[in-house]
Structure 1
Amino acid sequence: MTARILIIEDEALVAMELRFVLEDLGHDVIGTVADARAARAMAAETDIDLALVDIHLQDGPTGIELGRELGQEQGVTVLFMTANPGMVRDGVAGTIGVLTKPTDERAVQTAVDYALRRRQGRPVEYAPPELQLFA
């Protein structure tokens, strides 16, 4: 299942590594952006299936509100990826869950596959252990 994925991450090396992993899995990475303004602009002009969203971006801790907007208002499936998972411990409306950084290629692959299966309404037996789901 190929998906159109937006990476919202302010650390260029992390974004580049994520892009390589996702493209190797056959996904279409439509862009990598480092702040909420650029993410909103990209989302307004492009059809996105999944957004991987860091909490702390170049413009501050804007990822939480951005994830909520993308998920609730635009119907994008949202996974947070952050070194600070406690910031979203209680969950964020319209989003699936959080993957703690640093992470590895397998964890990214299984979390993305889980999120996309849920998006498509396909059966999911269980979430990958690295993915903390929101209620």
Structure 2
Amino acid sequence: MALDRNPCMPRARILIVEDEYLVAADLEAALEELGYSCAGIAPDLETALTLGSSKPDLALVDIHLRDGQTGPLIAERLAQEHGISVLFVTANPRMALDASPPGTIGVLSKPCREEVVAAAVAYALQFKSGAPLLSPPSGLTLMQGGA
């Protein structure tokens, strides 16, 4: 399924923060098939912050990574240090909702289908751009400050 976009517009860059290689590779392939560019895959806090310095348009962040439950800290630092908006993609959505770091738009529960990720990413990018929004797509739970 190709993403309809203006060929003159640059592709949105998405950072994947996920320590399970197969999950990250599947997300990367799905995003690229949709017309997005992957800004990298980070399995931990240090790598996420390094890749975040390239200022991707959005980050998909898991809660539990190889260095512990660092997802909320990563989301907060990506937002504060680089202005990057975050969608959590996690098997522990309650933890993301409880943490609710600034810059976080919402949370998707793993496992999630490709079309759910596609709709959530498109929604998050519209939210970030300030474009008018419809209701959030099915499967995306907005954070307190989200649209």
Does structure 1 conserve the Cα–Cα contact (< 8 Å) formed by 2:116 and 2:139?
A: yes
After TM superposition, the structure 1 = structure 2 runs for residues 3-42 of structure 1, keeping only pairs within 5 Å, are 3-42=12-51
Structure 1 length normalisation: TM-score?
A: 0.95
Moved more, 91-100 or 7-16: 91-100
2:66 maps to 58
Q: Distance in 1 between matches of 2:75 and 2:26?
A: 21
Please state if 1:71 is matched with 2:79. Answer: yes
Identity of matched residues, %: 49
SS at match of 2:16: strand
1:105 maps to 114
TM-superposed deviation, 1:71: 1.8
Between 1 and 2, higher relative CO (CA 8 Å, sep ≥ 6) is seen in: 1
Please state if 1:116 is matched with 2:128. Answer: no
Structure 2 length normalisation: TM-score?
A: 0.87
SS at match of 2:88: strand
Number of aligned positions between the proteins:
134
SS at match of 2:50: helix
SS at match of 2:94: helix
TM-superposed deviation, 1:47: 2.3
TM-superposed deviation, 1:123: 1.2
TM-superposed deviation, 1:89: 2.2
TM-superposed deviation, 1:72: 3.0
TM-superposed deviation, 1:30: 1.5
After TM superposition, the structure 1 = structure 2 runs for residues 80-95 of structure 1, keeping only pairs within 5 Å, are 80-90=88-98, 91-95=100-104
Q: Distance in 2 between matches of 1:93 and 1:129?
A: 22
SS at match of 1:123: coil
Q: Could you list the runs of 5+ residues in structure 2 that have no partner in the other structure?
A: 6-10
Does structure 1 conserve the Cα–Cα contact (< 8 Å) formed by 2:55 and 2:83?
A: no
